[in-house]
Amino acid sequence: MATEIIAGILIGTILGTISGLIPGIHANTMAGILVAAESGLLAVLGAPAVGIALFSALVVHTFTDCVPSTFFGVPDADTAISVLPAHALCMQGHGEEAVRLSAMGSAVSVVMVMPLFAVFMFFLPSLQSTIDWWLGIILILVAGLLILSSESPEWSAVVFLLSGILGIFAFRYAWLISHTSGVSSVLMPLLTGLFGISVLLRASGGVMPKQVRSDPSTGARSIAWHAGMGTLAGAVVGWLPGLSNATANALLSPLFQAGSEGKGYIIATSAANTANAFLGLAALIALGRMRNGVMVVLDTIGMPSPLLILAGGVAAALCGFVITILCGRGAQFLGGIPVRAMSYMVIGVVTVLAFLLTGVFGMVILVCATLVGLIPSLVNVRRVTCMGAIMVPVILFSLEIL
């Protein structure tokens, strides 16, 4: 049994690394690969090991997905708005530091999330109906805070509503997406256009600066504080229905644009994404609610014992931390690369991926999202207001309007 469990952790670690390092590929895609091989894997490894492989892939993905966003400015659906400070650090020659901060935020979150896991499992199910009712109201308040705290509330409201309308359209017609499951896949072109291509199109000339190898300048107390706040945000979206990691990042944005070059925000968003993975598992066990494709497959094949799958997730997190740190060290090979040429090459690769993964409808969303994503830089407001693409549909859904 122990051999099968270790094999499950290793398989999940490999799949989570692949999905994290390739822009536009989510852990859900890796779950689909495991499903395709489900009958053979179940016969060889057994259901517990396959379940641990699925959860391990999800956990490792939350570590490694910072690498393409930091070095190439391409967002993952879970970390869209954390691209901005991380890529900015890379353009200052501190890409490795940004990756280290992200990995440390995720690692600290794993420790902090364990007591929350127990609280969520045993105390929150009795309050779920009340929590569901207040969801829309909470998000309206968060949206108001995002808009009113911006440089230009009027333009921020315009961008928020425009992106919200685009999000409503994208989710309502997500069934038009080919090849993969619509609702999860539509996030790829939507957030890539809003936070990736729209930024890369305005890339400056020159070359990528030499990447300096240095330990993070952020102190242990600051890392713990930002990771703690990120863990709480990830806990909220990991439990509440209809929310995603992208929503957690939006919740954190008004709090953590501070810190040197947004370093605290990188830590907090990474912690939120990892916490969301673990507490999404708690929601599945306690309520039977499935937050992503990995949880759907877990529910289908049968859930291993909670302690066993948690132990597998912690082991996978350790592997993910080491892999992410090693990938960050590769930053030294990027110095001297022409920035604009690299940006255009990344845009081409991501566009091809969007077409392969989401078809013609995905390309329509990608173009529209890119156009909307260009507006914040033109009117000088924070790009976080583009999170209306996620928040507006969730608000309307929670209030039973959509």
> Residue 338: helix, strand or coil by DSSP?
strand
73-84: pLDDT as tens digits: 665 555 555 556
Three-state DSSP class for 207? strand
Backbone φ and ψ for 334, nearest 5 degrees, come out as -90, -15
Q: Which two tokens stand for residue 58?
A: 């999800």
* Cα(250)–Cα(230) distance, integer angstroms: 11
Question: What is the enclosing helix (H) or strand (E) of 21?
Answer: helix 2-21
End-to-end CA distance of the chain: 47
Does residue 13 carry a pLDDT above 70? yes
Q: Which residues contact 46 (CB under 8 A, 6 or more apart)?
A: 1, 4
Q: Is the pLDDT of residue 65 over 90?
A: no
Residue 396: Cβ-neighbour burial (10 angstroms; 0-12, 13-18, 19+): middle
Cα–Cα distance, 238 to 60 (Å, whole number): 17
**Residue pLDDT, tens place only, 187-221:** 778 878 887 788 778 765 666 777 777 666 677 88
CA distance 37 to 236: 33
Question: Range with the lowest mean pLDDT among 100-114, 216-230, 231-245?
Answer: 231-245
3-state secondary structure of 118: helix
Torsion of CA 324, 347, 77, 184, to 10 degrees: -130
**Predicted confidence (pLDDT) per residue in 235-294, tens digit:** 777 666 555 555 555 555 555 554 444 788 888 888 888 988 888 888 788 777 666 667
- Exposure pattern of 226-253 as b/e (b: 16+ CB <10 Å)? bbbbbbbbbbbbbbbbbbbbbbbbbbbb
Q: What CA dihedral angle connects 309, 314, 317 and 319, to 10 degrees?
A: -100
**H helices, E strands: number in the chain:** 19, 0
What is the span of the domain harbouring residue 345?
2-398
pLDDT (0 to 100) of residue 330? 77
Angle between helices 339-379 and 153-172 (to 10 degrees): 110
pLDDT of residue 155: 92
Give the separation between CA 141 and CA 165, rounded to whole angstroms.
19
Looking at the structure of the chain, the number of domains it has is 1
Share of the chain above pLDDT 70, in %: 75
Calculate the dihedral angle through the C-alpha atoms of 302, 306, 307, 310, rounding to the nearest 10 degrees.
Answer: 90
| Euclidean distance between CA atoms 275 and 232, whole angstroms | 8
